[in-house]
Amino acid sequence: MNNVSIIGIGLIGSSIARAIKDINNKTEINIVDSDVSNLKSSEHLALGNSYHTAINQELEKSEVIFICTPISTYENIFLELNKLKLDDCIITDVGSSKIQVIEKAKKFLKNKIFVPGHPIAGTEKSGPENGFKELFKDRWFISTPCEICEENHVKKINDLWKNFGSQIETMSPKDHDSIMAITSHIPHLIAYNIVGTANDLEEDIKSEVIKFSASGFRDFTRIASSDPTMWRDIMLSNKNEIISMLNKFNNDLKKVMEAIQNDDGKFLYDKFKKTKEIREKIIKEGLE
């Protein structure tokens, strides 16, 4: 590849920049970010070749444009990209929900090539300084091709991610959004919620909560320290799947609360024992 653009130079965008430069140092990378401090950091880190606070004609040279911004910005980005001549350029994204992203692409992108994607990688840290070139190595890249995608374009994006070290999995946008609701979106939502509940306690007990956080709570605070804008947008963009799965979670939690209230030790034991199976499968498949 000779020329690539990255819109949004956070953790994921900056890791893509590093991975591309690692493969071919000569690939020109245009970095676009409306956040001037992010842009300056990425220039300081020499992540790209040109730096822009807004989408402009420089991007017309690109073979691929990666959108790595929160999902609420997509509409504007698509409208800006419509102003450019991007005949053979593939526009792709890394957003954590796919049904709504594809709907937006269909609605707002005019005569452009779009391939939706989602790398299952990240840390709780954000910003260009926290990215690294191996972020995608041995991680999944989920491809969710849809009726507006052509096979050769999907293949080109998949090949790119293979070069970043990822394994490719293809599924429907709907399956993607269901699976992400339970494996990622709800765990984050629950973690934000439990840390929020603790945050509302009185000051004296709150300092004790921090002191004794090692007993389980700390893991939730790590998950709940992820970027708030990104997660706000994920929750809103996958609301149907999240609400439907949260209703299941709430029904289950209600039963557990009733069992505690009624001293139903058998119910609790059976429930706590059953969940070990999933853990054992994760360990068996070498995923931990």
**Binding flag, residue 148, a copy of itself (CB under 8 A):** no
What is the sign of the dihedral through the CA atoms of 109, 77, 126 and 5?
positive
Taking the complex as a whole, the smallest distance from the CB of residue 193 to a copy of itself amounts, in Å, to 5
List 151, 203, 211, 286, residue binding a copy of itself (CB under 8 A): 211
Q: Does 279 bind a copy of itself (CB under 8 A)?
A: yes
- By beta-carbon proximity to a copy of itself, the closer residue of 147 and 216 is 216
Query: Taking CB under 8 A as the criterion, which residues in 48-87 touch a copy of itself?
Result: 72
Residue 1 engages a copy of itself in binding (rule: CB under 8 A): no
- Closer CB to a copy of itself, 85 or 274, in the complex: 274
H or E element that contains 40: helix 36-44
250 lies in the binding site for a copy of itself (CB under 8 A): yes
Number of H helices, E strands in the chain: 12, 9
Give me the least distance between CB of 27 and a copy of itself, in Å please: 28
Which two structure tokens, joined as six digits, stand for 218?
């700390």
Residue 57 or residue 262: which is nearer to a copy of itself going by CB? 262
Contact 204, 175 (CB under 8 A): no
Cβ of residue 102: shortest distance to a copy of itself, in angstroms? 19
* Residue of the chain from 47, 231, 244, 286 that contacts a copy of itself (CB under 8 A): 231
Of 2 and 250, nearer to a copy of itself (C-beta) is 250
The span from the first CA to the last CA of the chain, in angstroms, equals 35
Q: Is 230 helix (H, G, I), strand (E, B) or coil?
A: helix
User: Contact, 81 vs 65, CB < 8 A?
Assistant: yes
Which residue, 37, 41, 27, 96, is CA-closest to 68?
96
